[in-house]
Amino acid sequence: MVVWFRRDLRLHDNRALAEAASLGRPVVPLFVLDEESPRVRPLGGASRWWLHQSLHALAEDLAGLGLSLRLRQGPASDVIPKVVRETGAGRVVWNRCYEPASVARDTKIKTTLRADGVETESYAGSLLSEPGEILTGQGTPYKVFTSFWKRLRECYRAPPPHPAPKRLAPGPAIASDHLDDWGLQPTAPDWAEGLRETWEVGETAARRRLADFMADGVERYGIDRDRPDLEGSSRLSPHLHWGEIGPHQVWRAAAPLIEADAPGASGHEALLRELAWRDFSHHLLSDSPHMETDNWRTALDRFPWGDDPQALAAWQQGRTGYPIVDAGMRELWHTGWMHNRVRMITASFLTKDLLIHWRDGEAWFWDTLVDADLANNVANWQWVAGSGADAQPFFRIFNPIRQAEKFDPAGAYVRRWVPEIARLPDRWLHQPWEAPPNALSEAGVELGRDYPPPIVDHAAARERALQAYEKTRRRPQT
Ligand code: FAD
């Protein structure tokens, strides 16, 4: 039988693999690099880098079971039937993904294989709950997160864990691409040094990160999770995205303390609540596929987004003159990850201070995040922009200075990522343009030479955004 790995690059708690183990049939483990199926979005650069490392780790882990991971490239609807013919497999199994393009493709593959007399089975496992499972009393999907979370919390029961198989019988040795030939890693230039310094990739690393966070971190998560200057959150997002660890595993790790009402369990509860945002985003995208590219709330369709390539480039490169925004954008570029609070600040700055469409920001995050995830990215961008479900209302505009003072109070985060202004006293660090000339010269900073002046005045930009929004609201529907 063929076990088709997708975004479940792990051996533990992998239902498709567990099924193969229970049936005892010879197994061909397969990964397909499919960027050609209709509407499937090609991976961004940082995701490609992660995938390379993750497949490498998975291949080693599978080798320990006696299996050799097979790699193929092309539209999965061509590749899977071809592999079935080459191996003579009578059964293909996989774990489900929920992006609309995946669902359409996988449904087609199932139909084709079954018509050819090949058994297929797919399993849940990459979310706590599948789209369509958590519904309102009227049988419709939730549009407000708090109610969704309440319902999920009431109905969710973690399924029994599936241990990693010990050994599996190998299927026929068919040809495989070489991972290096896929060119997933950047070479000229090699921009991945920061990613290599920051991340350990693969299931073993993911399990260790979860265990470490449960041992040290989660108790303070409820308090520290908003602080980019601390390691206050789990940093599990790329591992969860690629399925190196599954959400049920996180739930099982956190739930016993909550059930025992143990001290510090509020951090565990907060973690599960954040995990549920992931489900909520996937349910939203599944119910409203148009939100991948268009406003979930059509009221924002008439919003007069601007076109300012220079401002977009300044935002991407971390030289807006707002230190907390620049710190976030540089952290993203260097590590492939950005703290959630700073994601919100930078996204608000792009959409509201610069009036640049959320789609441009979403595309940049897609390319640069190691955890780039279609549902999470579009839902969160739309949440900040005010066009999403249960979104931040448009008129709530993040003030980058107040946010920085609150969540990076001693300036450690900004000093790390914007070292050219590190010697400024705390008082001026988050707004260097307000610093008196002697404070700037003592810190060795000349604005415009060492660090840019702000590209917009936040107070004026805020007014401009509110006026644009007001006009949009008043403009009659066409
Ligand atoms: P923790 O705080 O430890 O949370 C645990 C897990 O819960 C995360 O790993 C993640 O899987 C999930 N989670 C937490 N917050 C959210 C959230 N708001 N929405 C959905 N899931 C959440 N997350 C992505 O995984 N991929 C993206 O492409 C992505 N794009 C984003 C874009 C914007 C503009 C914003 C504001 C947020 C985005 N997020 C995205 C959500 C969030 O910022 C990250 O999941 C989080 O920062 C990951 O860090 P962590 O693993 O330490 O999270």
Reported as a pLDDT band with limits 50, 70 and 90, residue 252 is: very high
- CB neighbours (10 Å) of residue 338? 24
Mean pLDDT, the chain, rounded, equals 96
Q: Which amino acid is at 417?
A: W
pLDDT given for residue 261 in this prediction: 85
Question: Which is the catalytic residue, given 381, 383, 417, 428?
Answer: 381
Which is the catalytic residue, given 242, 296, 358, 366? Answer: 358
Report, as an integer, the average pLDDT of 340-359. 98
- Establish whether 383 is a catalytic residue: no
Tokens of 28: 């061909």
Alpha carbon distance 430, 451 (integer Å): 12
Amino acid letter for position 350: L
Short-list 439, 389, 457, 356, CA closest to 145? 389
Assess whether 274 carries a catalytic annotation.
Answer: yes
pLDDT for residue 420 is more than 90: yes
Indicate if the pLDDT at residue 477 is higher than 80.
no
- pLDDT tens-digit readout, 384-397: 999 999 888 999 99
381 is catalytic: yes
pLDDT value of position 473: 84
Task: Name which of 161, 128, 119, 121 is nearest 11 in CA terms.
Answer: 161
Q: Please give the angle made by the CA atoms of 221, 226 and 228, to the nearest 5 degrees.
A: 105
Reported CATH class of domain 2-126? alpha beta
- Average of per-residue pLDDT across 455-471: 97
Residue 105 has pLDDT above 60, yes or no: yes
For position 478, what pLDDT does the model report? 52
pLDDT attached to residue 432: 98
Strand, helix or coil at 184? coil
In 294-406, DSSP assigns E strands to none
Q: Residue type at 433?
A: W
Residues of the chain with CATH 1.10.579.10: 298-474
* Chain region(s) in the chain for CATH 3.40.50.620: 2-126
Interatomic CA distance for residues 404 and 227, integer angstroms: 10
The pLDDT of 167-182, averaged and rounded, is 97
Q: What is the mean pLDDT of residues 68-96?
A: 98
Angle between helices 265-287 and 145-155 (to 10 degrees): 110
**Is-above-0.95 flag for pTM?**
yes
Q: Are strands 70-73 and 91-95 parallel, antiparallel or unpaired?
A: unpaired
Contacts of 64 (CB under 8 A, 6+ apart): none
Tell me which residue has tokens 């010697």.
423
Start-to-end CA span in the chain (Å): 55
Any catalytic annotation for residue 14? no
- On the question of pLDDT at 248 being above 80, the answer is yes
pLDDT, residue 18, reads 97
Residue 156's pLDDT band (boundaries 50, 70, 90)? very high
pLDDT tops 90 at residue 262: no
Q: What is the pLDDT of residue 260?
A: 85
pLDDT of residue 263: 82
Question: How many Å apart are CA 45 and CA 291, to the nearest integer?
Answer: 23
Residue 383, amino acid: W
Instruction: State pLDDT tens for residues 268-315.
Output: 999 999 999 999 999 999 999 999 999 999 999 999 999 999 999 999
Q: What is the mean pLDDT of residues 13-22?
A: 97
Instruction: Indicate the pLDDT class of residue 50, thresholds 50, 70 and 90.
Output: very high
Residue 475 pLDDT more than 80?
no
Q: How far is the CA of 9 from the centre of ligand 1 (A)?
A: 19
Predicted confidence at residue 392, as pLDDT, reads 86
Residue 407 scores a pLDDT above 70: yes
Q: pLDDT value at position 476?
A: 60
Determine which helix (DSSP H) or strand (DSSP E) holds 123, and give its type and residue range.
Answer: strand 119-123
Would you state the pLDDT for residue 124? Answer: 97
Pocket of ligand 1, beta carbon within 6 A: 225, 233-237, 240-241, 271, 274-275, 277-278, 281, 340, 343-344, 347, 365, 369, 371-373, 376-377, 380-381, 384
User: CATH 1.25.40.80 region(s) of the chain?
Assistant: 128-160+203-287
Q: What is the DSSP letter of 2?
A: E
- pLDDT at residue 139 in the model: 96
Q: Point out the ligand 1 atom lying closest to the alpha carbon of residue 369.
A: 28
Residues 6+ away with beta carbon under 8 Å from 154: none
Report the nearest-CA residue for atom 8 of ligand 1.
Answer: 237
Is 417 catalytic? The answer is: no
For domain 298-474, give the fold: DNA Cyclobutane Dipyrimidine Photolyase, subunit A; domain 3 (1.10.579)
Give the separation between CA 247 and CA 245, rounded to whole angstroms.
Answer: 7
List the structure tokens of 407.
């969540």
Q: Say which of 305, 399, 420, 433 is annotated catalytic.
A: 305
Q: How far, in Å, CA of 190 to CA of 263, rounded? A: 46
Q: Which atom of ligand 1 is nearest to the CA of 339?
A: 47
Confidence of residue 11 (pLDDT cuts 50, 70, 90): very high
Pocket test for ligand 1, best of 371, 374, 407 (most atoms within 8 A of CB): 371
Q: Report yes or no: 12 and 163 within 8 Å, Cβ to Cβ.
A: yes
Predicted pLDDT of residue 184: 98
Q: What angle in degrees, to the nearest 10, is found between the helix axes of 100-115 and 265-287?
A: 70
pLDDT in tens, 310-336: 999 999 999 999 999 999 999 999 999
Q: Which of 29, 31, 72 is nearest to 169 (CA)?
A: 29
Choosing among 3.40.50.970, 3.40.50.170, 1.10.260.40, 1.25.40.80, the CATH entry for 128-160+203-287 is 1.25.40.80
| pLDDT for 474 | 81
Cα angle value 284/276/144 (rounded, 5°): 50
Q: Which tens digits make up the pLDDT trace of 430-440?
A: 999 999 999 99
